[in-house]
Amino acid sequence: MSGHHTDIAINGDSAVALAWKQIDPDVCAAYPITPQTIIVEKFAEYVADGEVSTEFVCVESEHSALTLCTTSASAGARTFTATASQGLAYMWEMLPIASSMRVPVIMAVANRAVSGPININNDHGDVMSARDCGWITLFAENVQQAYDMSIIAPRIAEHHEVQLPCLVNLDGFILTHATERMAPLDDAVVKKFVGEHKPLHPLLDVAHPVSHNLLDGPLYYFPHKYQTVLAMDKALEVAKEVFCEFEAVSGRRYEAVEEYRCDDAEAIAIVLGSSFGTMREAVDRLRHEGYKVGVAMPRLYRPWPIADLARTMRGKKTVVVMDRHLSVGSYGPMFPEIVAAAMENGSVPAMYNYIYGLGGADTMVSDFKKALADSIEGRAKRVNYLGVVQ
C-alpha cells in the first residue's frame, strides 16, 4: 500500500471536492443545489486560493452547467460538475446528448428526492431518471467510497474505447453531510493514477476541424446509438481493470457487485448506496438468529453487471430487492433488472421487492431485518412499501 497518509474526518461532499482538487480538472461548471452545494462551495474555495488551475464557471442553471461541461469536454478539457434532484431533472435534455457526443464528463449526484412534493432528503429518484441516458453510473456506500469513486470515474470514462460520461452517486445528507473517517491518497498518487487527459478529436484542434453532434436520419441514428451500447459494454471490462489498479495504489478493493456474507447465504438482499451498511448490520443480526442471509450492492448501475449479479444470485432461494425509488404503476426500477439478471442462471429464486426510504424516510436496521425475514418466511408481498401503512 502506497500513497496512504493520515486519516481525516470529512463529509461526503467535501470528500468529492477534495478528490477533484487533487485531480485538478481544466473546467468545472456548476449550479448550487442542496445537498450537493458543499461540493461546489468547497471547490470554489480551492479556486479562490489558487490551489487548482480550473476554469470555474458559475452558470445560471443546471441546463447550462451540463451544456458547458459537455462542450468543454468536446473541446478537449477534463471537466466535472455536480448536482442533485431538480438539478438533474433540469439537465435531463443534455444527459443523452452528452453520452451520444461521447464526452467523458464526470458528475457527482448527491441523491435527493425529486419534487413533488418538494423534499430535500435522500432517495434515488433523481438518478433513476438518468438510467437510460447512456451514463456510466457508480454508487458509493460511504464517504471513503464517494472519494474513491470520484478518482476512479475519469479513468473509466476517458478510456478511449469507452468515452462516456459518468455519474458518481452519494446519498444526500446521509453521506454528503455526514462526517466520517477517511483515508485520502497523496496528491501525487491521485495525479499519477488519473493521468494526463488525452481527448479524442478535440474541437480546439483547429488544424483538424471536426463537426460535433450532427443531424442523423433514420439510417444513422440507430447505428450511432448502438456504438454507445458497445462502449458501455466495454466500460464494464475497463471498470474492473481500473478497480484492480486502484487497489494497487490504495489498498481498497472494489467489485462490480459488492457482496457481504453471500457465499453460503440462502437469501440475499440487493441494495444501492449507503443502505448497504445498514443491511450488513441487519444481516449480522439475522445470522445471529440463525438465518443464512447476505447482502449485495451493484457498484455499477450502468453498465449493469448482469453476469456478476447472476453469479451472486446463483443457487439462492430468496432475493429481496430494495428500491429507493418508485416507478408508479410498476415494480421498483431495480427489481425487474435484478429478475432479468437472475434469469441468466436458468432458474429464478423467489423474488420480492421493497420500496423504502423515499424522501428521506428513516429506515432502521430493524426494518431491513423484518423485510428479509418476512421474505424468507413467505409473509412478504411481491411489492412492499416499507414503513407505509397500507
Partner 1 sequence: MTATSLKELSRSPDRLASGHRLCAGCPESIIARQVLMGTEDDVVVSCSTGCFEVSTTIFPYTSWNVPYIHTAFGNGAATCAGVESAYQSLKRQGKIEGEIKFVNFAGDGGTYDIGLQALSGAMERGHKMVFVCLNNEAYMNTGIQRSSATGRGASTTTSWAGKESPGKKEFPKDMTQIMTAHGIPYVAQVAPHAWKDLVSKSAKAFECGGPAYINAIAPCPRGWRFPSDQTINISRLAAETCVWPLYEVVNGTDYALSAESLRIAEGKAEKKPVSEWIKSQGRFKHLSDPRWAGVAESIQSEVDRKWKTLLRLCGL
CB atoms within 10 A of CB 213: 12
CB nearer to partner 1: give 93 or 377. 93
For partner 1, give the closer residue by CB, 15 or 73.
73
Tell me how many degrees the CA angle 173-176-180 measures, rounded to the nearest 5. Answer: 105
3-state secondary structure 279-323: HHHHHHHHHHCCCCEEEEEECEEECCCHHHHHHHHCCCCEEEEEE
Nearer to partner 1, 55 or 187 (CB): 55
Shortest distance (Å) from residue 187 CB to partner 1: 17
- The only residue of 14, 34, 36, 70 in contact with partner 1, by rule CB under 8 A: 70
CB distance 356 to 387 below 8 Å? yes
Distance in Å, CB of 358 to partner 1, minimum: 31
Q: Which is nearer to partner 1, 199 or 305 (CB)?
A: 199
Calculate the alpha carbon distances from 382 to 275, 354, 363 in Å.
20, 8, 19
Contact 14, 46 (CB under 8 A): no
138, 165, 185, 171: which is closest to 18 by C-alpha? Answer: 185
Q: Which is nearer to partner 1, 101 or 283 (CB)?
A: 101
Identify whether the C-beta of residue 349 lies closer than 8 Å to the C-beta of residue 342.
yes
Nearer to partner 1, 76 or 336 (CB): 76
Q: Which residue has the cell 413533488?
A: 116
C-alpha torsion sign, points 306, 384, 328, 358: negative
- Residue from 22, 34, 36, 74 touching partner 1 (CB under 8 A): that is 74
CA-based nearest residue to 92, from 34, 37, 131: 131
Closest approach of partner 1 to the CB of residue 86, in Å: 15
Among 37, 51, 76, 285, binds partner 1 (CB under 8 A): 76
Q: How far is the CB of 281 from partner 1 (least distance, A)?
A: 44
Nearer to partner 1, 21 or 369 (CB): 21
Among residues 269, 22, 32, 310, the alpha carbon closest in space to that of 147 is found at 22
Per CB under 8 A, does 55 bind partner 1? yes
Q: How far is the CB of 302 from partner 1 (least distance, A)?
A: 21
Footprint (CB under 8 A) of partner 1, residues 174-233: 203-206, 209-217, 220
- Shortest distance, CB of residue 354 to partner 1, whole angstroms? 38
H/E run at residue 111: strand 106-111
Closest among 275, 282, 297, 279 to 360, alpha carbons compared: 275
**Per CB under 8 A, which region of 59-67, 116-124, 162-170, 379-387 contacts partner 1?**
59-67
What letter represents residue 267's amino acid? A
Query: Quick one: three-class SS letters along 180-192?
Result: EEECCECHHHHHH
SS3 at position 168: strand
Looking at the Cβ atoms of 206 and 389, the one nearer to partner 1 is 206
Asked if residue 26 binds partner 1 (CB under 8 A), the reply is yes
Could you say whether residue 77 binds partner 1 (CB under 8 A)?
Answer: yes
First to last CA, the chain: 51
**Minimum CB distance to partner 1 smaller for 94 or for 320:** 94
64 binds partner 1 per the rule CB under 8 A: yes
The least distance separating partner 1 from the CB of residue 48, rounded to whole angstroms, comes to: 16
Dihedral angle at the C-alpha atoms of 86, 25, 170, 259, nearest 10 degrees? 140
CB of 265 to partner 1, least distance (A): 47
Restricted to residues 30-49, the positions that interact with partner 1 (CB under 8 A) are none
Beta carbon of residue 157, minimum distance to partner 1 (angstroms, whole number): 16
Q: Is 117 in the site for partner 1 (CB under 8 A)?
A: no
Q: Which residue has the cell 469507452?
A: 162
Find the part of the chain contacting partner 1 (CB under 8 A) among 56-64, 147-155, 233-241, 357-365.
Answer: 56-64
Residues that bind partner 1 (CB under 8 A): 26-27, 29, 53-55, 57-61, 63-64, 67-77, 79, 93-94, 97, 101, 203-206, 209-217, 220
